């Protein structure tokens, strides 16, 4: 008796299916073993997290805070890497037993598939036996990882969970910011008062006016191009950062160990913010009014004064920030020179729109 065609066809399909499930079962067994050796590294990071909720690491100077975080995180990762490297790979018989247990197979059929007759000859009866064995194997499963919880582990993680919940309740709404500050040296949590800020804008010489003082509540009005923004910050533990302007345009000075000054020129519209230790101290959206050239044009064509020989030159001029002087030149054909007609205005007036009539006599 020989094997049927269907049995010959199903043989490689069964082997491929078994190998796929073995691959999944190998990963599941590795995860279960890894969980056991990762307990201490996870405990170390959990202890640091608890200390962060109580603001212990961030109360240190930034340098010591960074060294502490590097030591804790580096030690936990080194310990985890060493323990994982020492894990032996799952053995073949353990993988097959896992598949058989999760698939509900009895009498270890995966091990029997690798049996051979004692005399080495595969008789027809042996082939029938093996075909029935393969047909008896249904769906194969590796199952999900089953994490081992010993009594001591259950007690330890229960105590840690209770402490974590208690610390989170103690921190209240500040818990997320405290964790951020604990894991990012140089960043303050919301329990630390913001530095004091003084900010104002000095208008350029071509658009004189009083300084514009800024607050965080409202955006400033439109300001002329090339105005000067000045910021004074006091009470900061480290240097703030001015964002939204070119770095080359910023003049930054440290006034004392906790005070800084920033001076910059505002040349285009946009959002400018000052940040200190991960938090925004001030932010404004500036609308810059460009310093455009004056608009000068004839108001009407030149004309001769009625009943006279005088010529009138009616002009109109407009500029957003005011006009200081209007000058006209009239050529002289006799000596090839120009007659200059000037109309200056006091700086306290500086009209923005003007109609002027020059008269040639």
- Residue at a domain's end among 183, 214, 236: 183
Residue 347: per-residue pLDDT: 45
Residue 279: per-residue pLDDT: 92
Grade residue 126 by pLDDT with cuts at 50, 70 and 90. low
Residue 189 lies in a domain: no
* Same domain? 285 vs 309: no
SS3 letters across the chain? CCCCHHHHHHHHHHHHHHHHHHHHHHHHHHHHHHHHHCHHHHHHHHHHHHHHHCCCHHHCCHHHHHHHHHHHHHHHHHHHHHHHHCCCCCCHHHHHHHHHHHHCCCCCHHHHCCCCCCCCCCCHHHHHHHHHHHHHCCCCCCCCCCCCCCHHHHHHHHHHHHHHHHHHHHHHHHHHHHHHHHHCCCCCCCCCCCCEEEEEEECCCCCCCCCEECCCCCCCCCEECCEEEEEEEECCCCCCEEECCCHHHEEEEEEECCEEEEEEEECCCEEEEEEECCEEEEEEEECEECCCCCEEEECCCCEECCCCCCEEEEEEEECCCCCCEEEEEEEECCCCEEEEEEEECCCCCCCCEEEEEEEEC
Q: Which residue has the higher pLDDT, 275 or 118?
A: 275
Residue 188 lies in a domain: no
% pLDDT > 90, the chain? 40
Residue 290: per-residue pLDDT: 84
> What are the pLDDT digits (tens) for 168-212?
999 999 999 999 999 999 999 998 999 999 999 999 888 878 899
Which of 34-48, 90-104, 311-325 has the lowest average pLDDT? Answer: 311-325
| Domain extent at residue 343 | 295-360
Q: In the predicted model, what is the mean pLDDT of residues 153-178?
A: 92
Residue 272 lies in a domain: yes
Residue 59 lies in a domain: yes
Residue 191 lies in a domain: no
Q: What is the pTM of this model?
A: 0.67
Mean of the per-residue pLDDT values for the chain? Answer: 81
């Amino acid at each position: 008796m020989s094997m049927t065609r269907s049995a010959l066809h199903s043989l490689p399909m069964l082997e491929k299916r078994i190998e796929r499930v073995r691959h999944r079962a190998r990963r599941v067994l590795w995860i279960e073993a890894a969980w056991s050796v990762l307990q201490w590294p996870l405990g170390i990071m959990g202890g640091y997290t608890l200390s962060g909720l109580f603001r212990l690491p961030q109360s240190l100077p930034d340098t010591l805070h960074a060294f502490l975080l590097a030591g804790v995180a580096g030690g936990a990762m080194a310990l985890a890497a060493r323990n994982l490297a020492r894990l032996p790979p799952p053995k073949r018989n353990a993988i097959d037993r896992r598949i058989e247990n999760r698939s509900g197979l009895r009498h270890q059929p995966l091990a029997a598939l690798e049996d051979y007759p004692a005399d080495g000859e595969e008789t027809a009866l042996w082939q029938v036996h093996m075909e029935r064995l393969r047909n008896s194997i249904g769906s194969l499963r590796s199952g999900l990882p089953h994490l081992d919880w010993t009594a001591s582990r259950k007690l330890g993680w229960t105590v840690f969970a209770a402490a974590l919940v208690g610390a989170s309740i103690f921190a209240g709404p500040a818990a997320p910011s405290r964790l951020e500050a604990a894991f990012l040296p140089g960043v303050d949590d919301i329990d630390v008062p913001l530095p004091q800020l003084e900010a104002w804008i000095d208008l350029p010489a071509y658009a004189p006016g009083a300084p514009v003082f800024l607050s965080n509540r409202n955006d400033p009005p439109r300001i002329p191009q090339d105005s000067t923004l000045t910021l004074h910050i006091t009470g900061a533990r480290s240097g703030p950062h001015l964002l939204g302007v070119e770095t080359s345009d910023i003049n930054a000075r440290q006034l004392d160990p906790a005070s800084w000054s920033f001076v910059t020129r505002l040349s285009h519209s946009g959002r400018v913010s000052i940040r200190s230790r991960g938090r925004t101290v001030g932010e404004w959206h500036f609308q810059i009014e460009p310093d455009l050239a004056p608009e000068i044009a004839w108001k009407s064509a030149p004309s001769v004064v009625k009943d006279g020989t005088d010529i009138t030159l009616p002009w109109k001029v407009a500029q957003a920030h005011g006009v200081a002087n209007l000058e006209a030149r009239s050529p002289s054909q006799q000596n090839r020179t120009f007659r200059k007609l000037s109309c200056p205005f006091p700086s306290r007036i500086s009209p923005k729109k003007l109609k002027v009539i020059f008269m040639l006599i």
